[in-house]
Structure 1
Amino acid sequence: MKKERVVIIGSGPAGLAAALYTARAQLNPVVIVGNQLGGQAAITHEIENYPGFPGGLSGPDLVEKMKEHAESFGATFTYDLVESVDFSSGSPYTVKTLMDEYSADSVIVTIGADPRKLGIPGENEGVGKGVSYCGTCDGFFFRGKDIVVVGGGDSALEEAIFLTRFANSVTIIHRREELRAGVQLQKRALNNEKISFIWNTVIDKVNFGDDGQVNGVTLNNVETGEVTEHPTEGVFIFIGHVPNSPIFGDQLAMNERGYIITDERMRTSVPGVFAAGEIQDEIWRQVATSVGQGTSAAMTAIHWLEANEETLQPLDETAEPAGD
């Protein structure tokens, strides 16, 4: 079992920021990367709203710069997946991955949340080519274009209204004949001259032109069964997110939607365990806010480790695997 002061679970913007700050504090954090270095940011075609890059840059470029920055101060990145954790007996905590097992004095959870997908042909292939799950991130690239928004809740309508700043038209496709969003949001959307609605309808397929870009969707009316083709240059999907929290079971306090509950300093219900980014933030979901939350979690972790320094096991002392 590897003994560490700080183990960071996840490598999105929150995890990368936490890695930088804890590395600068000479804690030599270990970042367990997960499925994708950089998380959702790494699959974002271009990021134009992160401070300091007026010309914008690609998601992969930003992620690589953040990783290099953290590594320059001593952070270690391991390309592995967390299988389980044990927060039940107090610090140090056990983090078990596919390849290793860690004894961590503190843990920062930045494992994120994934957009809920439609699961239709062309959806995955269309990411970066016209399919998006973030209007705030990608709306700018659809100036003067005709796009569709999928969903009927608050997020869908908020994003649809935002997207009218750029798009020529926004068509909201909803599987029901009534919206689930709040009354005021519904009024704003219904009164927006750029927004129209297609009711009782789902998307069966995302279609592409010869250039590889999205050029339409196949629609299916759930009441009549009628199948039609609808031209569009963008498909924005807002049907919710799924937090990646099941591996924690009931060891951390969560809300009814599975998001980890933290206080203003990113502290979870377990002392020495902190959370940041979309695993605990179901509102903003921006690179900049995740970086701020990761920074807060790291600084709180640093202070917590300092306050508990006298009780921490020396790093050069070999930890015995739990249960042995």
Structure 2
Amino acid sequence: MTTAPSATDALDLAVIGGGPAGLTAGLYAARAGLSVTVFERISAGGQLAQTEVIENYPGFPAGTGGFDLAYAMQQQAVNFGAKMAMEDIVAVDLAASPKVLRTASGKEVLARRVVVASGARPRKLGVEREDELRGKGVGYCATCDGNFFRGKRAIIVGGGDTAAADAIYLSRICERVYLVHRRDQLRATQVYHQRLAELENVEFVWNATADEFVTDANGAVCGLKVRDRHTDEVRLIEASAVFVAVGTIPNTEFLEGALELDAAGYVVSDETGVTSVPGVWAAGDVRTKRLRQVSTAIADGAQAAENAAEFSEF
């Protein structure tokens, strides 16, 4: 029979999420002398580890690999005493003292303080058969899966920084890349506009939305029908892959009302990560903020950990 943990077993700090924000929080908290465990359900680094090249992180003028940077962050946190737990947190009781975290395996973890750094996941298009075709030509990470379509045609749906970066990456390995966007100009930062304009094998498909996936006899994607928002005309674009880059959804379902969320589901917090519950901070892509980048996630993690180190329950 398993014995339930007691308050004496409680961690000083539990960090939910092992992306840049969570790993930084773990590093800073461990250096401050707290007992800290970082819980990550997939692999350390989160989406950072799935990014081919990070070009705008200070200190790397030639850019750096996302996986390499994530691994270095993890090792640094562990070297200072933070522990890593490959566990998915599925429920929390943040009103309890100490606070209670429940894992997918049914384990209970007690913690005096919590940093929520659970990040966000890609938003789906909502087109029929999208889930069915995931892995059969529909994807959400061009840098992860693009190599499967080397020398073929690929489509990116979206208009932000991720879509632009994906198009640039795919242009190096694919015969042709179509960038489908519902507006007549990208939302991506200006630096991407010039780089995309210089790529001869990238074609912009403006004012268009994804309408229907087209498949071959083997059930794999062979094209996408897009609809012009002004004329209602439907065009078939033949391609072996469709990568979706239309935004993110915060990973906050496990909170179930434990923290105040905004209308989009992100944790409401100030710039120091303070949330609606004392002893709980939010850091990284999961919280309300204007800019979601590796650099801002790291700043969030540092702020949250410093607050946690100074926090007193009494």
TM norm structure 1: 0.72
CA distance in 2, matches of 1:23, 1:13: 15
**Aligned partners of 2:122 and 2:140 also within 8 Å:** no
Residue 53 to residue 283, structure 1, CA distance change in 2 (3 Å): same
Q: Deviations over 1:99-142 (max 9, x none)?
A: 43111000000001111133354122862127697147556646
Residue deviations 1:68-106, cap 9 Å, x none? 0000000000111112100123x3101111343111000
Question: Is the 8 Å Cα contact of residues 44 and 70 (structure 2) preserved in structure 1?
Answer: yes
Between the aligned partners of 1:55 and 1:23, the Cα distance in structure 2 is 31
- Over 3 Å counting, the alpha-carbon distance change for 1:299 and 1:206 in structure 2 is farther
- Aligned residue number for residue 86 of structure 1: 93
Cα separation, 2, equivalents of 1:292 and 1:200: 36
| Superposed displacement of residue 246, structure 1 | 1.1
Q: 1:158 aligns with which of 168, 182, 187?
A: 187
Once the two structures are overlaid, the 10-residue window that deviates more, 11-20 or 130-139, is 130-139
SS at match of 1:255: coil
Question: Structure 1 residues 205, 124: closer, same or farther in 2, change over 3 A?
Answer: farther
User: What SS is found at the alignment partner of 2:54?
Assistant: coil
Q: Report deviation, 1:295.
A: 1.0
1:61-76 paired onto structure 2 within 5 Å: 61-76=68-83
Q: Deviations over 1:189-244 (max 9, x none)?
A: xxxxx96525354362699xxxxxx9x85324499895623569x96644332111
**2:224 counterpart of 1:218:** yes
Aligned residue in 2 for 1:318: none
Residue identity opposite 2:306 in structure 1? M
Equivalent residues of 2:180, 2:204 under 8 A apart: no
Aligned to 1:134: 162
Q: Does 1:228 align with 2:256?
A: no
Match of 2:138, SS?
coil
Q: How many residues matched?
A: 274
Residue 157 of structure 1 aligns to a residue whose secondary structure is coil
C-alpha spacing 1:36/1:96, structure 2 compared with 1 (3 Å): same
CA contact (8 A) 2:269 2:288 kept: no
Structure 1, unmatched stretches of 5+, are 171-193, 208-213, 312-324
Report SS of the residue matched to 1:298: helix
Deviations, residues 34-79 of structure 1 (Å, cap 9, x unaligned): 1232111111111122112223222111110000000000000011
Task: Give, as a single letter, the amino acid of the residue that structure 2 aligns with 1:92.
Answer: P
Q: Quick one: distance in 2 between partners of 1:143 and 1:84?
A: 42
SS class of match (2:69): helix
**Deviation by residue 1:167-200 (Cα, 9 ceiling, x = unmatched):** 1379xxxxxxxxxxxxxxxxxxxxxxx9652535
* 2:38 aligns with one of 21, 24, 31: 31
Structure 2 equivalent of residue 16 of structure 1: 23
* Residue 271, structure 1, aligned to residue 278, structure 2: yes
8 Å Cα contact 2:273-2:304 kept in structure 1? yes
Paired residues of 1:267 and 1:275 also in contact (CA < 8 A): yes
Contact 1:139 1:163 in 2 (8 A): no
Is 1:197 matched up with 2:174?
no
Pick closer, same or farther for the CA change 1:70–1:200 going to 2, 3 Å: closer
Which blocks of at least 5 consecutive residues in structure 2 are unaligned?
Answer: 147-153
Separation (CA, whole Å) in 1 of partners of 2:69 and 2:139: 22
TM-score (norm. length: structure 2) = 0.74
- Percent identity at matched positions? 31
| Superposed CA RMSD | 3.5
* 1:248-267 matched pairs, under 5 angstroms: 248-267=255-274
Query: Equivalent residue for 2:149?
Result: none
- The amino acid of 2:14's aligned partner reads V
State the secondary structure of the residue aligned to 1:158.
Answer: coil
Kept after mapping to 2: 8 A contact 1:150/1:239: no
Q: Which residue of 2 aligns with 1:298?
A: 305
CA contact (8 A) 1:148 1:235 kept: no
